[in-house]
Amino acid sequence: MRAVVTGGAGFVGSHLCERLLAQENEVVCVDDLSTGRAENIAPLLDHPRFRFLHQDVTEGLEIPGRVDAVYHLASPASPRDYLRLPVETLLVGSYGTRNALELARRDGAAFLLTSTSEVYGDPQVHPQPESYWGNVNPIGPRSVYDEAKRFGEALTAAYRRTHGVRATIVRIFNTYGPRMRADDGRAVPAFVTQALDGLPLTVTGDGKQTRSLCYVDDLVDGLVSALESGVPGPVNLGNPEEVTVRELALAVREVCGSASPLTFVPRPEDDPQLRRPDISTARRELGWEPRTPLAQGLDRTVAWFRDAASLREEAVPTLAA
């Protein structure tokens, strides 16, 4: 199979590229590196079945040769990124999604849209099934991401109905693991880097808001299974095990062996109080559920951050006296 992965140099995208290569596929990774990182795919650049295209998908997606699958992951995904790039986030959800769908339509390729749990907004239904239409503030600061993904879902469904594109929609819940950017503003990398540096762990609000954390390898299993299944979706992909943000901070502190105190800071506007997926559809249609316990996933994530920090220190040049 020849697969295109938009956003392939990002946190999740780079893991997906590796998985597809391990399954003997040819992979074309497309990324403008606005939030993805070249270092995420550096080990893949010499692979004979891997090609990297430095492109902005909002400006077009011209891929020579036949394409069998399109995984559309391109988008800023952390609050810090999409608040910094609000218009770009809306454009990649609209123009970028259309260009990816047109590529799939051109060759009759299977198409996967990675949507998000943020389409549920600050939910009034808990846990969140795919049938829930959500509670989103359409003009709040987070809306640039929420509405970009909601529009992307609507466009994907329209292409499926109108043009017969073999399209699947998945809604990704909080994901963590190696290659998260330390400065992306999400809870896990923030807590890990703070704990390793001996700094206070900044918990937003009272820390009682909940999240459901899925290790990246498990998520990638779900993405591949969803595209191969041809199930239209939407399908929730996430971990139904729910933890409070305060519990997460304490768990990270323990794994890091840190004595850092917790400090409480104001919550961002429209930050959801509850987040837990109902994954009945994924279990039934894909035979999928996450398998990595939080403690094990945090061990692997912290180990990666330690190694990355060591490599950065080694790369610092020594100044001559």
**Pairing state between β 26-31 and 50-54:** parallel
- Of 77, 129, 131, 65, give the one whose Cα is nearest residue 103: 65
Give the separation between CA 71 and CA 96, rounded to whole angstroms. Answer: 12
Catalytic residue among 145, 159, 176, 215: 145
Cis peptide, bond prior to residue 234, ω within 30 of zero: yes
- Do 105 and 222 contact (CB within 8 A), yes or no? no
- Of 210, 223, 278, give the one whose Cα is nearest residue 111: 223
DSSP assignment string, 137-177: -TTSTTHHHHHHHHHHHHHHHHHHHHH--EEEEEEE--EE-
Give the separation between CA 284 and CA 289, rounded to whole angstroms. Answer: 10
Q: Is 145 noted as a catalytic residue in this protein?
A: yes
Give the separation between CA 219 and CA 203, rounded to whole angstroms. Answer: 25
Residue with tokens 């591949």: 224
Active site members: 145
